[in-house]
Structure 1
């Protein structure tokens, strides 16, 4: 994907299949497709809770499996990844729409992705934010959640522990109010996001922040994550 200098030190796209829309009030028709924003840390500090060492290859593989699943999900018109220049080639190769931003925290990456997606999304498309550490996610699981989310102006899927958030959606991107971080599940509900019923065993709810969490998903991991783990044996 081509890109050019943009806000927050990143690069703004010059070509994309996501076309600009009017304001939220002008969309005028129900959401049938989604643009999915995925923030990816893309640095050697990624997955620091795995312990000492550089876990960036594993973190990048998990993010790539997450993005690949999103791109194959029914109802997804495009995937916009906000990441570092070092990690950008992986998502370019997947065919995602990549926004380069120097490391500035999760909130900043999400805000930038939502802002650009809102500017460029055509009427009838909602905007979802999906975290990039869901290596067991399947296209069908994400598609089912996005289909259910069409019925709500704002919706959310909590992680398996019930404290964090894996996905938020907004029929109109400008209405998003992301609150990722400790206690984000309760924070999103308080902001009006409707919780969606998703099985706790779903790959959509099983984010990975530790080696123990990754081990629980053995046999269900995406090919890229499994490949990195296999190469380290």
Structure 2
């Protein structure tokens, strides 16, 4: 039986978001909104973000928690703390080509393990981190996070493909590679630039 997941999505939500992508605040928010909109069709979502970005996420009918401002791991833990310690998935907020079927498939695979990690397309970062008991999360985001999460006891999911789920966007090349698979808000925001 597939557990009832809650998905936590940390979103920086400030002018400093997506600097490597050279995105405007509007573009960075569009990427996050597309990610959250798709995730919300799969499971309840908790977004952890700056108060200035909260209204945009409230419009998607998701729960919004204020980012404590102490880095990505602290933001993740703030979101996880609201989930009653049930099955909790942490999803990166920069997946503008996220596909609901791919996310469902990854969560179904993750349900077989107490804790699991899905690396990004490059194999070094983390796009999805799961724990069947939310209080078991030990996030270690940053450079080389996939390896750091494996060292914390997360089982790596071997799920080839899943392009929309595994391709976080850090550069313009990443964005261009996703082409027409991008979400509508992202396409519109980058078309204006």
Report if TM-score (shorter chain) is over 0.5: yes
Deviant stretches of 4+, over 4 Å: none
Check the 8 A contact 1:31/1:126 in 2, yes or no.
Answer: no
1:23-172 residue pairs with structure 2 within 5 A?
Answer: 32-51=3-22, 55-73=24-42, 76=43, 78-101=44-67, 103-117=69-83, 120=84, 125-172=86-133
Aligned residue among 186, 190, 203 for 2:164: 203
Check the 8 A contact 1:45/1:55 in 2, yes or no.
Answer: no
Structure 1 CA distance, aligned partners of 2:174 and 2:101?
Answer: 22
Structure 2 length-normalised TM: 0.95
**1:14 alignment partner in structure 2:** none
Larger Rg: 1
**1:224 alignment partner in structure 2:** 185
Find the residue that maps to 1:146 and give its secondary structure: helix
The alpha carbon displacement at 1:196 in A equals 1.2
String of CA shifts for 1:48-72, please: whole Å, max 9, x gaps.
1124xx6211111111111111111
The alpha carbon displacement at 1:227 in A equals 1.0
Structure 1 unmatched runs, 5+: 1-29
String of CA shifts for 1:106-161, please: whole Å, max 9, x gaps.
122111111222xx35xxx4001001000001111101100111110001100000
What is the aligned residue count? 193
Structure 1 stretch displaced more, 174-183 or 108-117: 108-117
Structure 1 CA distance, aligned partners of 2:171 and 2:69?
Answer: 21
Structure 2 unmatched runs, 5+: none
Structure 1 CA distance, aligned partners of 2:146 and 2:121?
Answer: 11
Check the 8 A contact 1:36/1:80 in 2, yes or no.
Answer: yes
Structure 1 CA distance, aligned partners of 2:100 and 2:2?
Answer: 19
Structure 1 length-normalised TM: 0.79
Structure 2 CA distance, aligned partners of 1:103 and 1:48?
Answer: 17
Structure 1 CA distance, aligned partners of 2:144 and 2:3?
Answer: 30
Aligned residue among 141, 144, 147 for 1:183: 144
String of CA shifts for 1:9-59, please: whole Å, max 9, x gaps.
xxxxxxxxxxxxxxxxxxxxx7621000000000011111124xx621111
Check the 8 A contact 2:68/2:74 in 1, yes or no.
Answer: no
